[in-house]
Structure 1
Amino acid sequence: MTTYNGGGRPEPSMVRPYSFTAGRTRPKVDLAVEALVQSLPESQERRHELSNVEVAIVDMSQKSPSVAEVASWLGMPLGVVRVLVGDLVAAGHVRVHATLQEDSSDADRRDLIERVLSGLRGI
């Protein structure tokens, strides 16, 4: 596992992923892995409230990555990142944009899956 060192690059960590979430496995808000995360402007003024990993997520979220992309970049399990992003949403540091609506077609859903897979592969 890797963690953010504040210098823009991930570095190896001996910290167990569940310690970042105090053992919680469910996010405070419902998050799809393909949901796009966007940092809010006021979060920059409140950085002192955040851990290094949370600062990394907020910084990454300026480019609106998906939850899965954040997990990949940090080298952390997706479930842990979902909990951390959920905490950041609840605290008003980031917002999440839904990628599909209830009435989305099967073609829309397949297209989204292909885009997510391409993004994770770095294509």
Structure 2
Amino acid sequence: MVRAYAWTGGRTRARVRLEIETLVSTTPRAEAADGLRSEHQAVAQLCRRSRSVAEVAALLSVPLGVVRVLLADMAALGLVAVHETAAGAQDGPDVELLHRVLRGLTNLRG
């Protein structure tokens, strides 16, 4: 088991802002790449189906901050696509976002 800080080179802040509900998915570039680092391979496999930042952290058993840095690095390399979070109505919550969060929590339980 590699210590989490080794995955990020000791960095604690991501270059881009990634919310816990932000969805990421593996790009064709990651699928075709040979010789990815082990942590990149793990994320690429998990994100073949879109996953939230929180899901990736939970499924890898890695702190959220580490996953944010790792995903930001992977996005800069074109290995994952970061999907913009839909903004809801200003008067209330975004119902689709709530459904995605509920699905993610249900997946973590099961």
When the two structures are superposed, what TM-score results if normalisation uses the length of structure 1?
Answer: 0.75
Cα deviation, residue 113, structure 1: 4.3
Number of aligned residue pairs: give it. Answer: 106
The question of 1:72 aligning with 2:80 is answered no
Structure 2 residue runs of 5 or longer lacking an equivalent are: none
| Off by >6 Å, runs of 4+ in structure 1 | none
Q: Normalising by the residue count of structure 2, what TM-score does the alignment of the two structures yield? A: 0.83
Match of 2:84 among 82, 87, 98: 98
Deviation at 1:121, TM superposition (A): 4.0
5 Å-filtered alignment, 1:29-40, equals: 29-40=16-27
Instruction: Report deviation, 1:120.
Output: 2.4
Which runs of 5 or more residues in structure 1 are unaligned?
Answer: 1-12
Residue 8 (structure 2) aligned to one of 18, 21, 44: 21
**Sequence identity (%):** 43
Q: Give the Å deviation of 1:100.
A: 2.3
